[in-house]
Amino acid sequence: MVGEFSQNKEIRIVTHTYDLAIPDKSGFELFDVIPLGKSWMYPYLVRKNIADPGEQKAIVAHIMGGFREMLHGVQARYPGLTKVVDTQGTLGESEWRNEIHPTSGGFRKIAEKIYVGGIV
């Protein structure tokens, strides 16, 4: 626990709920040139015969909804120590660079929401 091990007993933790990533075939490319990886979700969904984009999005929304609930549970358990900024639903489809990374503008929107909402 932070309060037990941190030298700064007044430290506060600000986190966020991520957003609802969109399964896509595109992998991650650094600087849009250097291929660093394949897509993370899409191949596993297709391998399980889940090829419909709407169904894929619904699965991601379900998983990320559980993640959001878990984080809010941590905030409720440690009031004043943690702050969860709800960032789900912040990005539009065109603000994703690939499955799990927003575009620069998307990152800016998330960061602004955290900055404004993260004041504990």
pLDDT computed for residue 10 by the predictor: 78
98 CB-contact burial (10 Å; exposed 0-12 / middle 13-18 / buried 19+): buried
Residue 120 to residue 101: CA distance in whole angstroms: 26
Judge whether 50 and 56 are in contact, CB under 8 Å. yes
Tell me how many domains the chain contains.
1
> In the numeric block, which tokens belong to residue 109?
């929107």
pLDDT computed for residue 50 by the predictor: 97
Closest by CA position to 82, among listed 108, 57, 117: 117
> In the numeric block, which tokens belong to residue 66?
């559980």
pLDDT computed for residue 98 by the predictor: 85
pLDDT computed for residue 80 by the predictor: 85
- List, run by run, the mean pLDDT of 10-residue segments along the chain (120 residues): 73 92 80 68 94 96 98 93 94 90 93 81
Place of tokens 């309060």: 3
Domain that holds residue 20: 2-117
pLDDT computed for residue 34 by the predictor: 58
Q: What is the pTM of this model?
A: 0.82
